[in-house]
Structure 1
């Protein structure tokens, strides 16, 4: 019998047990279930390992998996790949994005890397790009980055000074791929029901191209009382899974539905090679920020938009 109990469910553990040939092996993960006959350990890739209690040699709690330092510049680019714009162009390594004005992310310059020319000239290209499309020139910049400081030096100012900063947060799947409290349906294509739950009123014309444009996507939903009451979107880029578009019907909030949607998406990503997760949240959205922090998400960086008048 192991040294664990039902009180250890939800905690990270290591279990040494014997296989059928008598050899011992270790499994490390989160204890998912426990009874007198068996225990189940959930690995970081979401795989559940069910082990007979009689085969356990030793077992104990171990500290939670620490968050490895994040490569902020890599994550900055990863977020763009996870939610690509309808139209993209490059100025050197800088990315110009346009999506008929829907969302700041889909209609802004991403100044990352080398523009291949003087910054002032690259910015003139960006201004012309957005002017041609009838859009205001916007740049999404990481706060306190060299690019943000350079753009501000060249006369770019805050586009939305009344709005709070956006936090990009990250964690490991080991923290967030627990078993959802609700049944979460995950599909690779959204249907009309998903879009109806994701938006108030008509779906913006550019939304399907943006939401479905990544190489690998997941659309999660939870149904209660005969209707879809919570949805979310996931996208895989390398070992990163991005979670966005999480929305819960106002009549069903504070029931853990957003957490369930997030868990459903990260459990989808584990078997596909997902190991880390990111999401974005506005800094003054206290309820969402609290939920994500309690789930183990930590700040990677903050961003906001600059414009040139």
Structure 2
């Protein structure tokens, strides 16, 4: 595997689906619809069979578990060209943005007195990070499995911001960064990131990795200020007309 593929495996381990089935080195994933990453086939490495046959297996898996048939592929990779040749098209229906920049950078030094990282998520953390104080079992599984820290920052007596960090193989995977609208532009997002960086160092991480939609200009600017640069990009692909027939229909 090349470096981009290896990093995608790290990110996948930091974002575990409820159901995961290997297809050679590909991974078929389901998490009851929570996020594209946990409900798509990660098409990196060798599926062990022809790509056209692997895509049929993706379709069967998706039909069995009632999710759209989608593959996550590194942009401009040989696998992406093979997926396109099989009649699949860019899956622009993904609400969070179907093209994603994968950023990396060294963890910054220095204390973060305004933020802390909890061992267990609070209802306020769930509300900010997942949009629900009492999320589904699938959401809980994705966001709490592994070596995970739950960053929070308080302001004016309330939890004003939240972020999730997961450590895998020396990488700190960062996700679900959120600040309440009334508390934005106060530096709270930066405080959260610095607090999470300290937690990551304590748990053996030396660098962080983030997956950010290309149209999320605010997040990309924040992470650039924190020293992150683009490592590679990926995008989602779905079947074109007639490329993924449901055998049950």
Cα offsets for 1:193-215 (capped at 9, x unmatched):
210222435654221110012x2
Unaligned runs of 5+ in 1: 1-69
Pairwise CA RMSD: 1.7
Say if 2:59 is the partner of 1:127.
yes
Q: When you count helix as a share of all residues, which structure comes out higher?
A: 2
Distance 1:255 1:289 in 2: 17
Q: Structure 1 residue 296 and structure 2 residue 227: aligned?
A: yes
**Paired positions, count:** 236
Instruction: Give TM-score scaled by structure 2 length.
Output: 0.90
1:12 aligns with none
* Structure 2: runs of 5+ lacking an equivalent: 241-249
Aligned partner of 2:207 in structure 1 is 276
TM-score (norm 1): 0.73
Q: Indicate the residue corresponding to 1:172 in structure 2.
A: 106
Is the CA contact 2:124–2:133 (under 8 Å) kept in the aligned structure 1?
no
Distance 2:168 2:198 in 1: 15
Secondary structure class of the residue paired with 2:76:
coil
What SS does the aligned partner of 1:196 have?
helix
Deviation at 1:120, TM superposition (A): 1.5
Q: Does 1:83 align with 2:15?
A: yes
Shift in Å at residue 71 of structure 1? 2.3
8 Å CA contact retained: 2:126, 2:135: no
Give distance in 2, aligned partners of 1:268 and 1:202.
24
C-alpha displacement at 1:134, in angstroms? 1.0
Post-superposition offset of 1:299: 0.2
> 8 Å contact 1:142–1:302 — kept in the other structure?
yes
CA deviations over 1:61-112 (Å, ceiling 9, x no partner): xxxxxxxxx9222111111001111110011111000011111011000011
Name the structure 2 match of 1:110: 42
1:211 equivalent in structure 2: 143
Residues 166 and 281 of structure 1 are in contact (CA less than 8 Å); yes or no, is this contact kept in structure 2?
yes
